[in-house]
Amino acid sequence: MKICALGIPQLVVGRHNVKDPRLDAADRLVEAKKKTYVQVDVVGEDALSTADVFVVAPERRPDLLLQDLEFVETRLGRTPSEVERSALLKLKAALEQDRSAAEAALSPDERQAMAVHAGLLTARPLVVATPEELERPELLVLRAYAAAGYISFLTVGGKENRAWMIRKGATAWEAAGVIHSDIQRGFIRAEVISYDDLIAYGGETGAKRAGKQRLEGRDYVVQDYDVMHFRFNK
Using an 8 Å Cβ cutoff, are 189 and 217 in contact?
A: yes
Both 114 and 170 in a single domain? no
Q: pLDDT confidence of 93, banded at 50, 70, 90?
A: very high
Q: Which residues pair with 56 in a beta bridge?
A: 6, 128
Q: What is the pLDDT of residue 116?
A: 78
Whose CA is closest to 15, among 45, 40, 49?
A: 40
Question: Is position 139 within any domain?
Answer: no
Q: Stretch 95-115: mean pLDDT, rounded?
A: 91
Q: Are residues 88 and 17 in the same domain?
A: yes
Q: Are residues 46 and 112 in the same domain?
A: yes
In a domain, 32, yes or no: no
Co-location of 109 and 217 in the same domain? no
pLDDT at 143: 97
Q: Are 123 and 101 a contacting pair, CB within 8 Å?
A: yes
What pTM was estimated for this model as a whole? 0.91
* pLDDT for position 31: 94
Range of the domain at 112: 2-21+39-128
Are residues 186 and 232 in contact, defined by beta-carbon separation less than 8 angstroms?
A: yes
Contact predicate 168/149, CB 8 Å: yes
The verdict on residue 140 lying in a domain is no
What span, in angstroms and rounded, lies between the C-alpha atoms of 220 and 214? 11
In a domain, 30, yes or no: no
Phi then psi for residue 186, to 5 deg, are -100, 15
* Whole-number pLDDT of residue 35: 97
Tell me, yes or no, whether 97 and 156 share the same domain: no
What distance in Å separates the CA atoms of residue 167 and residue 185, rounded to the nearest whole number?
Answer: 19
Mean pLDDT score of the chain, rounded to an integer?
94
Say yes or no: 109 and 218 in one domain: no
pLDDT tens track for 173-214: 999 999 999 999 999 999 999 999 999 999 999 999 999 999
The answer to whether residues 120 and 9 belong to one domain is: yes
> Pick from 187, 158, 203: which is nearest to 213 by CA?
203
- Domain assignment of residue 195, yes or no: yes
Which pLDDT score is estimated for 119?
A: 75
SS3 157: coil
29 in any annotated domain = no
In this structure, are 46 and 120 located in the same domain? yes
pLDDT score, position 115? 81
Quote the pLDDT of residue 229.
97
Q: Quick check: 117 pLDDT over 80? A: no
Geometric angle at alpha carbon 87, from 82 and 91, rounded to 5°: 145
* pLDDT above 70 as % of the chain: 100
CATH number of the structural domain spanning residue 158: 3.10.20.30
Confidence of residue 120 (pLDDT cuts 50, 70, 90): confident
Q: Is residue 26 part of a domain?
A: no
Total domain count, the chain: 2
Q: Are residues 6 and 119 in the same domain?
A: yes
- CA separation for the pair 187, 192 (Å, rounded): 14
Is residue 34 a part of any domain in this protein? no
User: In terms of domains, do 119 and 188 share one?
Assistant: no
Same structural domain, 70 and 159: no
Return all residues near 221 (Cβ < 8 A) that are at least 6 apart: 169, 170, 171
- Which helix (H) or strand (E) element contains residue 73? helix 61-76
Does residue 214 sit in the same domain as residue 157?
yes
